[in-house]
Every structure is written in structure tokens, then in C-alpha cells.
Amino acid sequence: MTLDAFIDALPKVELHVHLVGSASVPTVLELSRRHPGGPVPSTEEELRRFYTFRDFPHFAQVYRAVNALVREPEDVATLVLGLARDLAPQGARYVELQVTPYAHHVVGMPMREVTEALDLAARRSLSDHGVEMAYIFDIPGEYGDEAAKVTVEHALQEPPAALVGFGIGGIEQERPKYRDAYRSAFSAARAAGLHSVPHGGEMSGPETIWEVIEGYGAERIGHGINCLADPRLVAHLRDTQLPLDVCPTSNLRTGQIARIEDHPLPRMLEEGLYVTLNSDDPPMFATTLAEEYRVAAHTFGFGRQELAQLSRNGVQASYLAQERKQALLKEIDDLLAAQGA
């Protein structure tokens, strides 16, 4: 088996992917034909040109245009099922999908109807595609107190059955203005039994990572790539083995690194940090979950053992039931054994 074939066959979990950012061309075509007349092309050829990544401002334009197509609970379910369909051929078995309830609230979708759409989509993702779907509700960090209130109310009052975590994304530099609201929201979510999985240290420095650790009780952190600037933080992350969900191509597309070869993933592993590999907004960044493993292999020189360990890290850092974790870990070990690795 070639290394690329091994990557395709490797059982995987996806722990850091966003609902709207996961929308591939076939999914967006379905939405644009359902809601014609907007800024999103409704023919495949035009849509592929529109979708081709150019730079970060263009990505933001595409993201806003696709987000504007999500107008009804049925559209939410379409996005979830599209992601399951796209991930299944990549060896993905389980996903923790980041959903932003505030985006649905502002267009008038009732909480209960959004939750029913998420529940239906989770059931069909498993039955139709063999992909188990869980959800993380995240606050868009630039929208402040109202976004925090709406997100935590939805999480506590009308949660989907597969809700496992509570997060925050968006522009990290805006968060200090709303520090108390965000800390309070995370405190309430954690008290209700949800896991704390905020973004931190992607577009800002170690201070944001310290804030999500100390202020939000982070159990896993999205990105965290700028931790290396603070030796004390690196030591803390190494000692606690707090997982960092790393998305190399995303960091390139958003301008956090100049070249993929400059990504800190190899150094993070050399420092003994706990890293998982993920895709973030894959179609919009011209990547896939499997492609992130190819980057690890062909750019950073990782072999089968290292790739399998990244997959194991994802399984162990997930909020899957323990028996499901053990089954997936056995699949990974069996694949390695079959390769004589």
C-alpha cells in the first residue's frame, strides 16, 4: 500500500470543522438552487470559479455569501449531511461539528427548529453515510454579550441530542471587550456538563491561550499555534497534555504562516505537545481532512507511524463514548499491523 493509499484507508476523526465553512460545491449548489437570485452562482462551472480560493478577503466574501443561503432549518440539515457525505470517503468515522446558533438566530430561525434539524441530520449522517456526528456550539467572538447570551441559552434550553461542547471563534482580538460575558457563558455551559473547546492562539498570541485556559476552563483548544512564543505556556501544555486542534492549510490561507513549510506542527510535536489534525473550512480553503494528512506526510515527512499517531490523538481527544474510542483505536492498529509498520 502506498503512503497515499494508507492515508485514505486510515480511520479518522474531525474535531475542528465549521458548519458553513464545510459547505462543498455540491452542497452550495443545492442551497443556491433552493434560494435563487442571490450572490452565489447556481451553475456548477460558475460556482467552482467563485469558490476557488484567492486570498483571505475573497474567502470572507464566499463565506458571507454561503452563510446568506442558510435561511431555514432545512438548510442547516443540508449542510450537516453534505459534510457527512464529503467526509465518508476520506475514512472519517466521527465529527465534532462547530455550529454557530447566533447566525441562525439573527435570521429568525427558532431554536427548537434548528435543534430538530441538527438531530435529524445527525441520525441521517450515521444511517446514510456511516459518519457519527456530534456538535459544538460556538460564540462568534466579535459579537459580544448578545451572541454569548443567545448561544448559551440555545445550548442549555434546546440542545441537540449530540451536543458535546461549547466554544468560541471569530476575531480573537475583540474578545477582551466582552471578557465577563464570555467567561460567564462558558461557566454556565460547563456547569451543564458541556466540554469547553474554545479557539485560541490562532490570530493572536499566547495571552489568548492563557485566557481560554484560565477564564474558560479549556479542555481542548482550537489552533493554539502561537503557543510557541511563550516557553512557560509550552511547558504547561506539555505537562497537562491539553489537546490542540491544528489546521495547517487553514493557517496558510488566513495568513498566519507565509508558506506551508513554515507551519509549526513539527515543532509542536517535537516539544511534546498533544496535537490533533483537522481541516477547519475545507472546501473554502481548497483542502480536505485527508489532504491535511497528505500535507503532514509530503511536506513534513511523517510516515505511517506518525500519521497513525495523529489519528489516535484525535480519537483520544474526542468526546466519543469509550467503547467507540477503543473500536477506532483497534482499527488504526490493525491497519498499521497489516502494513508491517
Average pLDDT over residues 262-287: 97
**Any residues with CB less than 8 A from the CB of 96 and at least 6 apart, and which?**
13, 14, 15, 16, 134, 135, 136, 164, 165, 197, 318, 319
**Any residues with CB less than 8 A from the CB of 292 and at least 6 apart, and which?**
247, 248, 249, 277, 278, 279
Report the number of distinct structural domains present in the chain.
Answer: 1
Q: How far is CA 30 from CA 66, 123, 135, in A?
A: 11, 20, 23
For residue 278, give its domain range: 3-338
pLDDT number for residue 293: 98
Q: Is the pLDDT of residue 57 over 90?
A: no
Q: Is the pLDDT of residue 26 over 80?
A: yes
Average pLDDT over residues 177-182: 97
d(CA 308, CA 293): 10
Active-site residue (options: 14, 96, 172, 202): 202
Kindly report which listed range (43-47, 192-196, 250-254, 261-265) carries the lowest average pLDDT score: 43-47
Grid cell 442558510 is found at: 70
| Entry pTM | 0.96
- Is 202 catalytic? The answer is yes
pLDDT number for residue 229: 97
Rg (CA), the chain: 19
Residue 301's CATH number = 3.20.20.140
Please provide the average confidence, as pLDDT, over all residues in the chain.
Answer: 96
